[in-house]
């Protein structure tokens, strides 16, 4: 690449943004916008997914500040009228290939359509991660000022240099998104089980807390996160927690950690809520160390009376899930849920609005269908299946 076209600082800036911006809410937007500014283009789009079945691509687009084009409406119209033009179909572009498109190549009607949008041509390149399972495209949209041969050569050279980095960055993006998806699934499972989870760094500051932990903290009196520290109202219990955290941090790097290295604490909060707290060392990752990495995991679980649900709708939904899972009638499903939560027959019958004798007959039918002896077996059975009862 000629030095007078793109100096090394501009190139390094683009490459750096390419890798940094995969973690943005709109991945690669900063890179796309910097590329647009560097080339003086009308717009730069990065297509993350293209399918003929969709009304528009899944893409990120950076446009000039004064651009008033409704690009989504423009794309939907283009798909209806011109998606049959083979040259314009992304699937025909191989990874690493760069294609220049101008008005003379797409027919008069399409050329007129582009002209109405202020588009005189475009440059497109394809990039894919190593397995080839995900393919993406960069489109540089040119207007009257940029659609000329010197510009095309200029942009060709830049895209040629950036192309291998795009593929590597996409590989990192795919891996990051897979991990984020797994994280979201695991967090959702913990939330569903009402198990709070917090991670502390090497300075005992809270790095993150799942939704269940936040809910427990928000509804509790005497438990809070203050200045990134987990704070208990009771000094003795706070001391016990601090000791457990210090112990977890001290043994984290030792080989052959076992369950004996975990500390279980019973906490009575100011509002009377009983809380179980488990403090354990975070898994040690050899190549990921420092003050701001997870060192300690704290699990929170509410003890005491089982709470069925937060709303009638949720209770109805969970009761229906119990019935479906165990082959019970809807009424038996609701009763099974109440009995599994520790309700007596009298309490359950009152909540269901049926006679005690009717509830007792339902319970006998439940035990017979599930081939169990009584309520204690039902509790164990439902608890084992709780993760499935969403």
Domains of the chain with CATH codes: 8-180 (3.30.450.80), 199-302 (3.30.450), 312-388 (1.10.10.10)
Per-residue model confidence (pLDDT) at position 61? 95
Per-residue model confidence (pLDDT) at position 3? 44
Give me 333's structure tokens: 């499903």
Helix (H, G, I), strand (E, B) or coil at 251: helix
Q: Rounded distance, CA 293 to CA 32, Å?
A: 31
pLDDT along the chain (390 residues), means of 10: 61 95 94 94 93 83 91 86 82 89 84 88 91 91 70 83 95 94 88 89 94 91 93 92 94 71 88 90 84 92 63 73 92 92 91 94 95 92 80
Per-residue model confidence (pLDDT) at position 336? 93
Phi, then psi, of 94 in degrees rounded to 5:
-80, 150
Per-residue model confidence (pLDDT) at position 79? 84
Per-residue model confidence (pLDDT) at position 228? 95
Per-residue model confidence (pLDDT) at position 269? 87
- Model pTM? 0.75
Per-residue model confidence (pLDDT) at position 2? 45
Per-residue model confidence (pLDDT) at position 360? 95
Enumerate the H helices of 327-386 as residue ranges: 330-340, 345-352, 356-370, 375-384
Phi, then psi, of 159 in degrees rounded to 5:
-65, -35
Count Cβ neighbours within 10 Å for each residue of 226-263 and write b for 16 or more, e otherwise. eeeebebeeeebeebbeebbebbbebbeeeebeeebbb
Per-residue model confidence (pLDDT) at position 1? 43
Helix (H) or strand (E) holding 142: strand 135-142
Q: Which long-range contacts (CB under 8 A, 24 or more apart) does 127-131 make?
A: 127/95, 127/96, 127/163, 127/166, 127/167, 127/170, 128/95, 128/167, 128/170, 129/167, 129/170, 129/171, 129/173, 129/174, 130/167, 130/171
Per-residue model confidence (pLDDT) at position 187? 87
């Amino acid at each position: 690449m000629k030095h007078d076209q793109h100096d090394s600082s501009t190139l390094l800036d683009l490459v750096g943004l390419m890798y940094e911006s995969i973690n943005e809410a709109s991945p690669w937007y900063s890179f796309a916008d910097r590329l647009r500014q560097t080339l003086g283009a009308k717009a730069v789009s990065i297509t993350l997914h293209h399918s003929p079945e969709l009304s528009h691509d899944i893409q990120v687009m950076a446009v000039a500040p004064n651009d008033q084009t409704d690009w989504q409406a423009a794309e939907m119209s283009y798909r209806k009228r011109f998606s049959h033009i083979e040259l314009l179909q992304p699937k025909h572009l191989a990874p690493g290939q760069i294609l220049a498109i101008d008005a003379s190549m797409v027919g008069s009607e399409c050329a007129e359509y582009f002209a109405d949008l202020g588009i005189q041509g475009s440059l497109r390149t394809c990039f894919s991660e190593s397995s080839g399972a995900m393919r993406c495209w960069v489109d540089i949209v040119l207007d009257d000022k940029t659609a000329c041969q010197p510009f095309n050569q200029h942009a060709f050279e830049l895209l040629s240099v950036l192309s291998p980095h795009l593929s590597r960055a996409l590989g990192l993006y795919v891996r990051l998104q897979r991990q984020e998806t797994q994280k979201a699934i695991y967090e959702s499972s913990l939330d569903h089980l009402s198990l709070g989870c917090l991670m502390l760094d090497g300075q005992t500051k809270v790095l993150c807390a799942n939704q269940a932990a936040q809910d427990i903290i928000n509804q509790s009196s005497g438990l809070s996160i203050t200045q990134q520290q987990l704070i208990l109202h009771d000094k003795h219990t706070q001391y016990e927690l601090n000791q457990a955290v210090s112990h977890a941090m001290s043994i984290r790097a030792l080989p052959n950690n076992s369950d004996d290295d975990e500390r279980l604490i019973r906490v009575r909060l100011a509002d009377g809520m009983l809380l179980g707290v488990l403090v354990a060392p975070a898994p040690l990752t050899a190549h990921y160390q420092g003050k701001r990495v997870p060192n300690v995991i704290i699990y929170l679980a509410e003890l005491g009376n089982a709470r069925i649900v937060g709303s009638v709708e949720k209770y109805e939904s969970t009761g229906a899930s119990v019935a479906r899972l165990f082959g019970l009638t809807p009424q038996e499903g609701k009763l099974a849920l109440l009995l599994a939560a520790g309700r007596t027959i009298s309490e359950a019958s009152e909540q269901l609005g049926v006679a005690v004798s009717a509830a007792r007959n339902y319970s006998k039918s439940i035990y017979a269908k599930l081939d169990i002896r009584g309520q204690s077996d039902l509790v164990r059975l439902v608890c084992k299946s709780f993760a499935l009862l969403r």
